[in-house]
Amino acid sequence: MHTSRNLAFAGLLLGMAMAQLDGLIVTAALPSIGEDLHARTGLVAVTAAGLLTLTVATPLHGRFGDLHGRRISFAASVLVFAAASAWCAAAPDLGSLIAARALQGLGGSGLIVTAMSALGELFERD
């Protein structure tokens, strides 16, 4: 019982860490990303797109987790976040990067919200 709880705890924390670190990494790398994409303006939209979808989708992910279960919600969020991260890495232009960051915010929101809810259930008092 304790081993499965510890593994679940580690997985949830890893998912939350990915979502939280994502914003920090992109913000730090944004000047280099702008150079690679030959973008002089519009770089703020890269960060704003991720934050906007993360904020708007937060209550939606909470409801989705209530309806369909935390495990399904967390797994779907990991898939969306991973696919969006790959899209960000392969983005050929600024518009594509902004769209990928918006999708990444959607997945990141699910990682954070679902992990917090699942942690509450995992360690609830008997």
The pLDDT value recorded for residue 125 is 64
In whole angstroms, what is the distance from residue 65 CA to residue 74 CA?
Answer: 8
End-to-end CA distance of the chain: give it in Å, rounded.
Answer: 15
Q: Please state, rounded to an integer, the average pLDDT across all residues of the chain.
A: 89
The pLDDT value recorded for residue 121 is 83
Tokens at 125, concatenated: 């008092």
The per-residue pLDDT for range 85-101, each reduced to its tens digit, is 999 999 999 999 999 99
The per-residue pLDDT for range 14-70, each reduced to its tens digit, is 988 888 888 788 888 888 888 888 887 888 899 999 999 999 999 999 899 999 998
Question: How much is the pTM?
Answer: 0.88
